[in-house]
Amino acid sequence: MKSLVPMTPIERFFYLLKLRLKNLYKLFFTTKFIRGESYFPEYRKDRKSKLRMICDQFVNIIKHAEPNNYYFLYGLDIKHREDNYVDYSEFMYYRERLNNPFSPKSTVGILRNKFFFGIVAETLGISVPENVGIISGSEIFILKDKSSVALTGYLQGIESGDFFVKDIDGECGDGVYHLVISDGSVTVDGKRSTCEELCNKILGQGTYLMQRTIVQHRAISNIFSKSINTIRVETVRNIQSGEIEFLPPLLRVGTGDNNVDNWAAGGLAIGIDLEKYSLAKYGFYKPKYGTKATHHPNTGVEFDGYEIPYMMESLETVKRFHNYFKDIHSIGWDIAITEDGPVIIEGNDNWEISLVQICSHGLQGEFDSYFKGVKH
């Protein structure tokens, strides 16, 4: 559902009416919303009938204007499973309203611009990836030298190095290239390439930030070494107390030949126990890649009880960082773990709640308290 914040009440009414009618039509004339593999086959005997699933989705459309696109991921196809999951459209409405990115005084721009984000973080003594230069057009501004040179010539002059080239305000992993230069050979996203080919990909596509790739902690690399595996944790300013609260964290890891940990690219998302600082039993795939797993498919590492180093320090760091963004209600943080501690990759005001709930539990109680100020 698109943002409802800028709409007038009349516009919102007709938009939601149109959306309800559209989704009700799809519900009764397609099997899209009830067709899905169960993520909880161990309870196959307790699975709901197709008619019951249709009724569940009908109620969701009437109540929220949309079906529950995470119905099977949440395990709602299983009988007697408590539905205390925050609806996505409700979450989007409150997140946008409370973060208020449309305000002219908003500091959201600092989060969304990777270069500005790094400057602010370093000023506050928070570890972030090393910024090498800013790419615009066919040139790169080298931050260390404070000078601009031709991008192709600069890359060809590097004997060896491991870098990420990122769209400076890109989102959801879009516009990110992993560049490795070694003894004259070049690979981009794991494939043999040339400096010229990389330049042609990004030429005229906007402004990019070149960062040196971090070296992750061996305990994280042991799970899967081809990608930088990151912790995702959301901090929320409790609307009642004003204190910074945490939603359940999770670890994203790559799989197969992927050099990224993105869930949308086939990676796994695994919950992290906030008390033990260790992984939960299951890692979850996005539907088209599978359902869930207890071990990493490539390394065989068992998730249950696997300890995550520097977890406490990670939480303390993002809590301190969030306290400087007084106007932003909630932030989703991406954190890499090195041998020396946490490195904050980025902060996102436009984070999503679905993956958090998939890896932990329904968060309606926390949501009502932190976002609405409702006491249970």
Specify whether 24 is located in the same domain as 148: no
For residue 102, is it within any domain? no
Q: Is 362 found in the same domain as 260?
A: yes
| pLDDT for position 32 | 82
Same-domain check for residues 310 and 357: yes
Q: What is the pLDDT of residue 2?
A: 44
Give the domain-ending residue among 143, 177, 212: 212
Residue type, 310: Y
DSSP state of 271: E
Model pLDDT, residue 141? 96
Residues 32 and 160 in one domain: no
Same domain, residue pair 227 and 166: no
pLDDT of residue 1: 43
296 lies in some domain:
yes
Of 156, 181, 212, the domain-final residue? 212
In a domain, 340, yes or no: yes
- Does 140 share its domain with 239? no
Residues 163 and 251 in one domain: no
Question: Could you identify the residue written with the tokens 């949440």?
Answer: 74
Do 74 and 17 share a structural domain? Answer: yes
| 314 is a domain residue | yes
- For a pLDDT cut of 70, what percent of the chain falls above it? 97
pLDDT value at 3 more than 50: no
Question: Which of 40-44, 99-103, 191-195 is the least confident region?
Answer: 191-195
pLDDT higher than threshold 60 for residue 189: yes
**What band does 206 get if pLDDT is binned at 50, 70 and 90?**
confident
> Which of 192, 212, 232 is a domain's end point?
212
Sequence-ordered alpha helix ranges (H) in the chain = 9-29, 50-64, 88-99, 108-112, 114-123, 151-156, 195-202, 218-221, 311-322, 354-359, 364-367
Between strands 207-212 and 131-136, the pairing is antiparallel
Are 359 and 230 contained in the same domain?
yes
In a domain, 97, yes or no: no
Residue percentage of the chain with pLDDT more than 90:
74
Identify the CATH number of the domain in which residue 323 sits: 3.30.470.20
Instruction: Show the domain range for 48.
Output: 9-81
Q: For the chain, what is the domain count?
A: 3
93 falls within a domain: no
Interacting residues of 88 by C-beta distance below 8 A, sequence separation 6+: 1, 64, 66, 68, 69, 70, 352, 353, 354
Per-residue pLDDT reduced to its tens digit, 30-42: 888 888 899 999 9
50 has pLDDT over 90 = yes
Look at residue 91 and tell me if it is in a domain.
Answer: no
Q: What's the mean per-residue pLDDT of the chain?
A: 92
Q: Which residues pair with 173 in a beta bridge?
A: none
- Give the model's confidence band at 176: pLDDT under 50 very low, under 70 low, under 90 confident, else very high: confident
Report residue 229's pLDDT band, with 50, 70 and 90 as the boundaries.
very high
Residue with tokens 């998302």: 269
Evaluate whether 73 touches 354 at the Cβ level (below 8 Å).
Answer: yes
Residue 136 clears pLDDT 50, i.e. is over it: yes
Residue 172: pLDDT band (50, 70, 90) is low
If asked whether residues 180 and 74 sit together in one domain, one would say: no
Question: Do 197 and 222 belong together in one domain?
Answer: no
Question: Does any domain span residue 289?
Answer: yes
Q: Please compute the mean of the pLDDT values over residues 108-130 and round it to a whole number.
A: 96
In this structure, the answer to whether residues 154 and 254 fall within a common structural domain is no
What's the pTM value of the predicted model, to 2 decimals? 0.92
4-18, 56-70, 345-359 — which is least confidently predicted? 4-18
Residue 205 has a CB neighbour count (10 Å cut-off) of 13
Query: Using one digit for the tens of pLDDT, what is the confidence trace for 280-338?
Result: 999 999 999 999 999 999 999 999 999 999 999 999 999 999 999 999 999 999 999 99
How many residues make up the chain in this entry? 376
- Asked whether the predicted pLDDT for residue 234 surpasses 90, the reply is yes
